[in-house]
Homo-oligomer: A and B are copies of this chain.
Amino acid sequence: MWHEENNELVKEYQFQDFLQAFGFLTQVAMLSEKHNHHPHITNVYNKVTLRLSTHDAGNVVTPKDHQLAADIDKLAFVVYMI
Contact = CB atoms under 8 A, between A and B. Distances in A.
Nearest to A75: B19
Interface residues on A, range: 20 to 34
Nearest to A45: B38
A22 interface: yes
Nearest to A43: B41
Contacts of A82: 78, 82
A30 interface: yes
A78 B79 CA distance: 9
Nearest to A41: B43
B33 A30 contact: yes
B45 A42 contact: no
Interface of A: 16, 18-20, 22-27, 29-34, 36, 38-45, 75, 78-80, 82
